């Protein structure tokens, strides 16, 4: 619903803190990490998504005259600070893991290095965008995995607002869907749009057969008929077959024909319908289904021998209904005061060890098994650390430190995951098209082992700390070893 | 992220059906109802919300040249139909229940009466908007009920995209929140914005006391200090008290001062902190909390004697996490062919009796107990039916028809819930401000009985059918009585 200037879409406390820094004369450069603590929906991974919208957001950052006037009206900001805001632009650096990458807990998905006031302002919008799209892309990859392909995103009417439906469709296609019903998402992101007709189409005609016939005449090449308005097996499927026979008799060859089931016992109905279609010679006719589906229901239907090959998934995908929020957070990791050469690492301590942050200006190396190209582990390191794949590499679990592993020289490959997006306020990154991100995401998912992808109790992917980062962390915890 | 023209935000099948109607020459006028089948989160009611955005959507309906070009490129639309779309505007009628009203399952929240092509196009966006905001407003009313007031909406960073965070804040304030952290929502909707500072504020200073002191100097009149960065009871609360004492000694009187707890055992910590603040003479200092809260957790904390009076609720409210979709549907209820004087009622049959629609062009009367002004029942009727409160009124349960009740003449009052929003394509309704809708919503919630409002197993509100509608429905079901 909004313009692409989301500058004001921030928590009030970002602005009150900024004003505090402003009048304190705080010109520190800081490092903030966006990371999450737990994969959604019991998954062993997540899909990073939303970076292109973060780029748009940063590029468009500026307060309008009306914004300043509104802020003035709140009565909590002073004129000097409002003047500063009126001239605000982002001058810092941003690093990020490319969209479509598989990612794991604790890893900085986005890293902001900027003057403290700038870094503070952008917290909320970056989290909002990355949290939302990463959530939906991850869910889509799970649904697609269960279905073995052929998942269409059909959730616009149940999405949490226009953006959720439209950016959500973008994320769903990146994560694995073949297309979306959302025409706006198709137009904006160049992704396939799909869909046929509703029950109301059938009800607007005197009878089902006429409704089907009219539809087939209009759309012979994408003729998926919804068969459950009255009685699926006694009326819907026989009428669809009658229309398909008329098309065959008229010499019309269709690129895509078939039926859609939107209610009832999909396993039973799809098997019966498959037999009826096959017996009539329509072995190419596809059977699609759409009825409160998610990855678990699709998995169950497939184990029941359901013959559906095309899945329209709505509510449970577009809202990630079993886990509707991605818990990305934005935490201070380092500070460099004016005149300092190096960053001073910062740590947030918590009674819960899982909530203790990783300090310092960090990067991530991903270690692949050379033979299989699968992920062996990720290594969170301090910027500047390097590893030579022609040498043995010792990695260890940062919590259960006795769990050690040595990767022999030559057996592994290394890739740095964080890439520069903005440097000194200038965008240095060009986002691929959504369909290219989707293709890249598919490659990324192929770097996971089967055991990481299964729906229930998947094997965790190791995310280790480098020795140097581990030592720094424990030094800051006052736990010198 | 988008402009306020959401014309293209529709499911592809709306457009393919429209083209079908176009070439069939179908000029029928139709009635579509937006209704839902089940209240979210186990509630006995929902709050209707989002109408103002539906109005904007309808007013702005028009396809741009680029939209038409995009649709042409899909290769499924013919030029005559594209020309029709290029000149498209909405010419029909829309009735709706005002925003902020309490509503119940099966009731038309929005009723569209329009040429079939127009009515079909607007399905998806209307559902998207109403489903989203009604969901969040309902959730907010539950959280506010549990808290007994003082709930702030803090969910922007976990919302499902920018709209979800911003329109969601609007809905949350309508449903019961006192304000939001989202500055954009404050600017757009004139709702209070709230917030203080984050852990990073504390961490950016050499020590907690300096961070608190600096904040208090800057914001003496809204001085809520976050006390859990290091150690709540040993460091945070004592430092806050030290700063409050300094303010007192300097003769500074604060409009609002207190602390915020964002982690740990809120029940325990709040009781300890209350005592420490009281012992230091700061009985007016408030204690706020924000830590994965929802209505159940707040209720539990209150039964434990927790001293929090101000609640920052994020993720679970802004996503309605236990029930992240409002199941509103859009169903054909009647058709009037050109030349017909009356609508012909339509019914959608289902094996599941709950899914059978109510046919015809309908309205809703709400029946209030005259003495208490509480809701006795809602009556879904056919348009044109009237009831005279000076006569006895017999109502009955439409499923368990033996459950009858007679309301004596003079004991009840009647109000029609659906009001005209658009007539012949012209908007005839002026939306109240969001704060006025919020005040109206509070009145609406007061028309529920306590038994309807409780969080667990609330008493259902009766939604009956008029005898005339009941008879029509059963006639169409072939079940003449």
What pLDDT, on a 0 to 100 scale, did the predictor assign at position B299? 97
- Residue A231 in tokens: 């009685």
Tens digit of each residue's pLDDT (9 = 90 or more) over B383-427: 999 999 999 999 998 888 888 999 999 999 999 999 999 999 999
| B127–chain A Cβ distance below 8 A for any pair | yes
Q: Which of B67, B125, B162 sits opposite A187 (nearest CB)?
A: B67
The answer to ipTM > 0.90 is yes
Per-residue pLDDT at A233: 96
Of A20, A131, A325, the CB nearest to B321: A325
Nearest to A168 among B2, B17, B161 (CB): B161
Residues in A touching B15 (Cβ below 8 Å) = 183
Query: What residue of A is the nearest CA neighbor of B334?
Result: A204
Nearest by CB to A162, from B2, B21, B23: name it: B2
Q: In the beta sheet, which residues pair with residue A31?
A: A113, A334
CB B190 within 8 A of CB B433: yes
Helix, strand or coil, per DSSP, at residue B197? coil
Is residue B108 left, alpha or beta, with left meaning phi > 0 and alpha meaning psi from -120 to 50? Answer: beta
Reported as a pLDDT band with limits 50, 70 and 90, residue A2 is very low
Check CB contact of B265 with chain A, cutoff 8 Å. Answer: no
Chain segment B115-134, per-residue pLDDT in tens: 999 999 999 999 999 999 99
- Residues of B with CB below 8 A from A135's CB? 160
228-247 of A, contacting B, C-beta below 8 A = 229-230
A151, containing H or E segment: strand A151-153
Q: Is A266 on the interface with B (CB under 8 A)?
A: no
- pLDDT mean over A217-228: 94
A160 — contact with chain B (CB < 8 Å)?
A: yes
Helices A123-147 & A51-59 angle (0-180, nearest 10): 160
CATH 3.20.20.70 maps onto chain B at 139-318
Which positions in chain A touch B10 (Cβ < 8 Å)? 156, 182-184
Across-strand partners of B413? B368
3 state SS of B406: strand
**What does the pLDDT look like over A343-395, one tens digit per residue?**
999 998 877 778 899 999 999 999 999 999 999 999 999 999 999 999 999 99
Per-residue confidence (pLDDT) for residue B95, from 0 to 100: 98
User: Of A362, A441, A355, A372, nearest to A413 (Cα)?
Assistant: A372
pLDDT, position A481? 43
Distance from CA of A297 to the nearest CA of B (A): 18
Going by DSSP bridges, is the β-strand pair B393-396/B329-336 parallel, antiparallel, or unpaired?
unpaired
DSSP A202-258: HHTSSSHHHHHHHHHHH-GGGEEEE--SS-IIIIIHHHHHHHHHHHHHTTPPPSSEE
In 3D space, the residue among A438, A142, A185 whose CA is nearest the CA of residue A297 turns out to be: A142
Whether chain A has a CB inside 8 Å of the CB on B103: the answer is no
Query: Range with the lowest mean pLDDT among A59-73, A81-95, A156-170, A217-231?
Result: A217-231
Q: Which part of chain B has CATH 3.20.140.10? A: 12-136+324-476
What does the pLDDT read at residue B402?
87
Q: Distances in Å between the alpha carbon of A259 and those of A308, A347, B148?
A: 10, 57, 52
A211 close contact with B: CB closer than 8 A: no
List the structure tokens of B471. Answer: 């008879």
For the domain spanning B12-136+324-476, the CATH number is 3.20.140.10
CATH of segment(s) B139-318: 3.20.20.70
What stretch(es) of chain A map to CATH 3.20.20.70? 195-291
Q: Residue A410: helix, strand or coil by DSSP? A: coil
pLDDT of res. B397: 87
Element (H, E) at B131: helix B123-147
Chain A positions touching B16 (Cβ under 8 A) are 195-197, 218-219
Rounded-to-integer distance, Cα A291 and Cα A301, Å? 12
Contact A161 B154 (CB under 8 A): no
To 10 degrees, what angle do helices A237-249 and A208-218 make? 40
Percent of chain B surpassing pLDDT 70: 99
Angle CA A142–A148–A152, to nearest 5 = 70
Contact residues, chain A, for B160 at CB < 8 Å = 132, 135-136, 159-161, 163-164, 168, 319, 324-325
CB–CB of B333/B360 below 8 Å? Answer: yes
Interface mutation vs chain B, best among A56, A123, A163, most B CBs within 10 Å: A163
Class of domain A195-291: alpha beta
Strand, helix or coil at B110?
A: strand
**Does residue B1 surpass a pLDDT of 50?**
no
B76/A219 touch (CB, cutoff 8 Å), yes or no: yes
């Amino acid at each position: 619903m909004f313009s692409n200037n989301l500058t004001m879409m921030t928590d009030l406390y970002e602005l009150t803190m900024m004003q505090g820094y402003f009048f304190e004369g705080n010109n520190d450069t800081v490092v903030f990490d966006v990371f999450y603590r737990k994969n959604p929906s019991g998954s062993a991974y997540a899909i990073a998504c939303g970076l292109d919208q973060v780029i748009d957001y940063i590029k468009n950052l500026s307060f309008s005259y009306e914004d300043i006037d509104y802020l003035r009206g709140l009565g909590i900001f002073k004129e000097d600070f409002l003047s500063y805001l009126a001239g605000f632009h982002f001058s810092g650096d941003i690093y990020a893991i490319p969209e479509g990458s598989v990612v794991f807990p604790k890893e900085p998905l986005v890293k902001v290095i900027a003057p403290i006031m700038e870094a503070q302002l952008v917290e909320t919008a970056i989290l909002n965008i990355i949290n939302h799209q990463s959530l939906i892309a991850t869910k889509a990859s799970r649904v697609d995995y269960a279905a073995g392909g052929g998942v269409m995103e059909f959730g616009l009417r149940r999405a949490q607002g226009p953006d959720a439906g439209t950016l959500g469709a973008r994320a769903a296609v990146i994560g694995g869907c073949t297309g979306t019903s959302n025409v706006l998402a198709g137009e904006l992101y160049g992704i396939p749009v799909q869909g046929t007709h509703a029950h109301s189409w059938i009800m607007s005609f005197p009878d089902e057969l006429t409704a089907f016939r009219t539809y087939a005449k209009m759309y012979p090449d994408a003729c998926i008929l919804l068969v459950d308005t009255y009685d699926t097996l006694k009326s819907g499927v026989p009428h669809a077959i009658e229309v398909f026979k008329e098309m065959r008799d008229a010499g019309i060859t269709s690129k895509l024909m078939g039926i859609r089931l939107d209610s009832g016992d999909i396993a039973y109905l799809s098997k019966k319908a498959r037999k009826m279609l096959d017996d009539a010679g329509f072995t190419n006719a596809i059977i699609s289904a759409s009825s409160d589906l998610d990855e678990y229901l699709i998995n169950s239907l497939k184990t029941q021998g359901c013959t559906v090959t095309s899945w329209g998934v709505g509510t449970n995908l577009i809202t990630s209904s079993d886990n509707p929020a991605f818990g990305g957070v934005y935490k201070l990791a380092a500070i460099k005061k004016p005149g300092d050469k190096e960053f001073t690492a910062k740590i947030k301590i918590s009674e819960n060890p899982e909530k203790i942050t990783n300090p310092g200006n960090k990067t991530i190396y991903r270690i692949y098994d050379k033979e299989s190209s699968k992920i062996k582990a990720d290594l969170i390191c301090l910027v500047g650390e390097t590893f030579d794949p022609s040498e043995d590499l010792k990695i260890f679990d940062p919590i259960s430190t006795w769990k050690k592993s040595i990767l022999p020289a030559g057996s592994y490959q290394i890739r740095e995951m964080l890439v520069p997006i903005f440097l000194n306020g200038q965008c240095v990154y060009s986002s691929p098209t959504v369909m290219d991100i989707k293709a890249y995401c598919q490659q990324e998912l192929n770097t996971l082992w089967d055991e990481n992808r299964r729906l229930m109790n998947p094997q965790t992917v190791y995310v280790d700390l480098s020795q140097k980062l581990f030592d720094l962390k424990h030094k800051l915890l006052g736990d010198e070893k």
